[in-house]
Amino acid sequence: MENQSVSLHDGECNVDLLQGGSGDPLLFLHGSGGVRRGPYLDLLAQKFTVYAPSHPGFGKSDGLEKVDDIIDLALFYHDLMDELGLASAHVLGHSLGGMLAAELAALCEHRVRRLVLTNPVGLWRDDEPVADFFSMTPNEYINHMLHDPDAPGMKELFATPGNPDEVMEQMYERLQAFSAAGKFLWPIPDKGLRRRIHRIKAPTLLIWGQSDRLVPPSYAEDFRSRIADSRVVIMAESAHVPMLEKPEEFVSLVTDFLNE
């Protein structure tokens, strides 16, 4: 996977894009924490040409002030796909990126070939509210996000660096990412997807970690019942980030579905 910068809107927005692999194009839309590096990206790149951009305001991407809401952001991705020469692509969205992928597919049916939503936000039920991760301390957040924070590999991915400067950098990055995510999700991640979700025509796979305490797995049925051609897979021993917690299983589910 290689980093590149893609310029949009006469240079007003610069998108930091991770790209690699070969095969059908697959657009990966990240969640509120930004593009999380892990083996899943390389595994996906063995089967697809993976595009993993950072949303405006995340990582090294700028232009957040040009994008006011989730619809603006979905249209921004139409522009990015134009710039990348992608008339259509498979789209895989996680959490905030899942909500975004659903909006993208609802706005224009021709752009999205097959859609995978993993632990998406975007709907709301009073009887089981999405957790307020914005107000969580870093430890609470990790405990809500992971099935087992002590599982092999998790400590390395979410470790606090030893060097104080790196700790500060990690804190700044998280703040920057959550600040940008707040623009689309604050104070409740329900921004009208319910009114538009029926427009999704793409065959859709919903993947949910069974132990997700941020966005409870019961939301899978809320999504499934509103998307015509959709099905649900609940992954055991995973929580909010199944692509990090069980990368092989996750990628195999995604690959099988996209190649159907």
Partner 1 sequence: MKLHFFHLMPYRFLPDDFTEKHRSVWVDVDSNLFDPAKGHQIYNENLDELELASELGFDGICVNEHHQNAYGLMPSPNLMAASLARRTRDSALVVLGNSLALYNPPTRVAEEFAMLDCLSGGRLVAGFPVGTSMDTNFCYGQTPATLREKYQEAHDLVMQAWTRPEVFAFNGKYTQLRYVNIWPRPVQKPHPPVWIPGGGSIETWQWVAERDYMYSYLSYFGHQRGLNVMKGYWDEVERQGKEKNPYRAGFLQFIAVSESEAQAEKDYAEHAEYFYNRCLRVYPGFADAPGYRTMATVRAGLKAQFERQTQQAAAGALTWKNFVDQGYILAGSPESVAQQLEEAARALHVGHMMVLLQFGSMPPDLVRKNTELFAKEVMPRVRPVFDEYEDRWWIKPLPSEQRMRPQGSLEPAGTPAGGGP
Spatial separation of the C-alpha atoms in residues 206 and 191, rounded to whole Å: 20
CB of 62 to partner 1, least distance (A): 12
Which residues would be at the binding site for partner 1 (CB under 8 A)? Answer: 57, 64, 134-137, 140, 172, 174-183, 186-188
Spatial separation of the C-alpha atoms in residues 224 and 226, rounded to whole Å: 5
CB of 178 to partner 1, least distance (A): 3
CB of 252 to partner 1, least distance (A): 34
Q: Which is nearer to partner 1, 52 or 180 (CB)?
A: 180
CB of 175 to partner 1, least distance (A): 5
CB of 172 to partner 1, least distance (A): 7
Spatial separation of the C-alpha atoms in residues 85 and 53, rounded to whole Å: 15
Sequence-distant (≥ 6) Cβ neighbours of residue 58 within 8 angstroms: 30, 34, 35, 176, 177, 180
Q: Which is nearer to partner 1, 30 or 114 (CB)?
A: 30
Spatial separation of the C-alpha atoms in residues 112 and 124, rounded to whole Å: 24
CB of 54 to partner 1, least distance (A): 16
* C-alpha separations of 77 from 132, 169, 189 in Å: 26, 28, 20
Q: Quick one: which of 115, 83, 113, 124 has its CA closest to 204?
A: 115
Q: Which is nearer to partner 1, 67 or 112 (CB)?
A: 67
Question: What single DSSP character describes residue 12?
Answer: T
Q: Which is nearer to partner 1, 81 or 185 (CB)?
A: 185
Q: Which is nearer to partner 1, 27 or 214 (CB)?
A: 214
Q: Tokens for 36, please give them.
A: 């999380």
Task: Decide: 255 and 106 in contact? Cβ < 8 Å.
Answer: no
Q: Which is nearer to partner 1, 107 or 136 (CB)?
A: 136
